[in-house]
Structure 1
Amino acid sequence: MASSFEQSAPGHLIIDTGVDSASRREFHADWPVNVNDPQVLREFSSGVIAGKVIGVERSYVDANAVIVTAYSIQLEKVYKGQNIPATISLTLPGGSVRLGEYISSLDKLGLYEMKLGQKDPELLRNAGLDPDQEKDPRTLDPDTLVTENWGMNPTSKSLLAELQPDSWVFYIGAVEGDVYYGAAFDHALSYLKDGMVYGLHPEAERSPIPESELLRG
């Protein structure tokens, strides 16, 4: 997948994955804790760090048939966790893949019928097609980009321009080998600005918390 590179104040590298901050998809889960509260989310996570995106490794379809993107993150601060390397590969929900790869991945997972068997209207809209028309996704141009946006793109140009974060704050969940995964799906990203931590999720606590609160164990 092609990416564009440019520099953006205050020192963030934009490696645009093509997923804008708008038109966020909804995700509903029964979390055992209130992950909308950043302090509770901190306790729920295995690690919490601040850092900058220094690379986009790839976007792909994971085992749950969700499009995710792996980012290279340069560590700046550790609020929780031990033995976290200076640079990590961190996977967050959202990204774009070509339709041919998307269909092939769904076939391998045995989930094509569940995801696309009903001519998924959202997929057709993402492909620039009228969802009211009967189109078999297998007959569409395989190079068409399919995008899933969960509001988790730290390379979004519009998001960087709007927020101008000092750093991104990542809540880490599972760790498999050298790969880290965001905690609580679409709650795993916040941002740091002027010593305050702000949530990105629409249901997150509206009031920011002091950065020092993330250090409390």
Structure 2
Amino acid sequence: MMANNSRVVCGIAVVLALGAVAGCAHSDGAIAPVAGVLAGSSSAGPDLFVADTGVETAPRLHSEADWSFNTDDQAALAEFSSAVVSGKVVAVERSYVDDNGLVVTAYSVRVEKVYKGEDIPDVISVTLPGGSVALGEYIAALDTLGLYEMKFGSKDPELLPTAGMEAVPDQDPRSMDPSTLVTENWGVNPASESTIAEIRPDSWVFYLVTDDDVYYGAGFDHALSYLKNGRVYSLNAESEGSPVSEDELLGR
């Protein structure tokens, strides 16, 4: 597992260590993949897998991190990552709460090209920030992690983790319907129908770190880019190193 001194700031005050984000653990038990469809084909690229992970029901969150490198520089991000691959999502495995109390989603990705890394299988599981889980599951995870008071104690509407809860900041979340969805949108969902329709990527590019053959997004909400016409584009408008050529990712 990779450790670093980075942090994420959610809303205005929640500070979480990103080192653990890179090594978030899967819970036990087999989870059936989320059903999806293929986006309509176009001259801009092949069909891509689309599935509703619920993230677009919530406003997009933004992170501020004290990284040792510039996460807006794709070359620097590739150097930091232990693996960089392009590929296509073939299934959404599940969303769950990671060790920092963040909602993340695991995707099955069919690898098309390896820019960095060794012994990478043809299909890998990639975990990226964002997704939806039931409030009951969310609270249970926060209790286990000892993070409940940090998440809900302030009752600050800006810190509540789902768009459906800001109207009731004074209500005890434990008294609410446990099936209420808790949603976090970090803008890195490769199964997003609206994102695919807007940018029409040829395929996705994933910047990854590994832990026991499980792959996690490096650079948190900078972990996903897209490939189009031989060039790699960042999803972050402020990215200083976008686009880059595939050769640059290969270190040529």
> Is the TM value for this pair above 0.5?
yes
1:16 shift after superposition: 1.9
> Aligned in 2, Cα 1:172/1:130: closer, same or farther, shift over 3 Å?
same
Q: Counting strand residues as a fraction of each chain, which structure ranks higher?
A: 1
* Structure 1 residues not aligned, in runs of 5+: none
SS of alignment partner, residue 198 of structure 1: strand
Q: Where in structure 1 do 4 or more consecutive aligned residues deviate above 4 Å?
A: 1-4
Say if 2:31 is the partner of 1:5.
Answer: no
Q: 1:137: which partner in 2? A: 173
Say if 2:219 is the partner of 1:188.
Answer: no
* Structure 2 residues not aligned, in runs of 5+: 1-31
> Normalising to structure 2: TM-score of the pair?
0.80
Deviation string 1:65-111 (CA, Å, 9 cap, x unpaired) is 11000110000000011100000001011110011100010001011
**Paired residues of 1:21 and 1:156 also in contact (CA < 8 A):** no
- Equivalent pairs counted in the alignment come to 215
Counting aligned pairs with the same residue, the percent is: 58
Instruction: Indicate which of 20, 25, 47 corresponds to 2:83.
Output: 47
Q: 1:56: which partner in 2? A: 92
Q: Distance in 2 between matches of 1:2 and 1:176?
A: 22
**Paired residues of 1:89 and 1:178 also in contact (CA < 8 A):** no
Q: 2:132: which partner in 1? A: 96
Q: Distance in 2 between matches of 1:44 and 1:55?
A: 27
Q: Distance in 2 between matches of 1:155 and 1:125?
A: 20
Q: Distance in 1 between matches of 2:173 and 2:166?
A: 11
1:43 shift after superposition: 0.5
SS of alignment partner, residue 61 of structure 2: coil
SS of alignment partner, residue 20 of structure 1: helix
> Normalising to structure 1: TM-score of the pair?
0.92
Deviates more, 1:206-215 or 1:145-154: 206-215
> Aligned in 2, Cα 1:129/1:29: closer, same or farther, shift over 3 Å?
closer
Q: 1:205: which partner in 2? A: 240
> Aligned in 2, Cα 1:160/1:118: closer, same or farther, shift over 3 Å?
same
Deviation string 1:178-201 (CA, Å, 9 cap, x unpaired) is 311110111100000111110012
Instruction: Indicate which of 155, 160, 165 corresponds to 2:201.
Output: 165
When the two chains are superposed, the root-mean-square deviation of aligned CA atoms in Å is 2.0
Q: 1:126: which partner in 2? A: 163
SS of alignment partner, residue 56 of structure 2: coil
**Paired residues of 1:50 and 1:75 also in contact (CA < 8 A):** yes
> What letter corresponds to residue 23 of structure 1 in structure 2?
P
1:129 shift after superposition: 4.8
1:2 shift after superposition: 9.3
> What letter corresponds to residue 167 of structure 2 in structure 1?
D
Q: 1:117: which partner in 2? A: 153
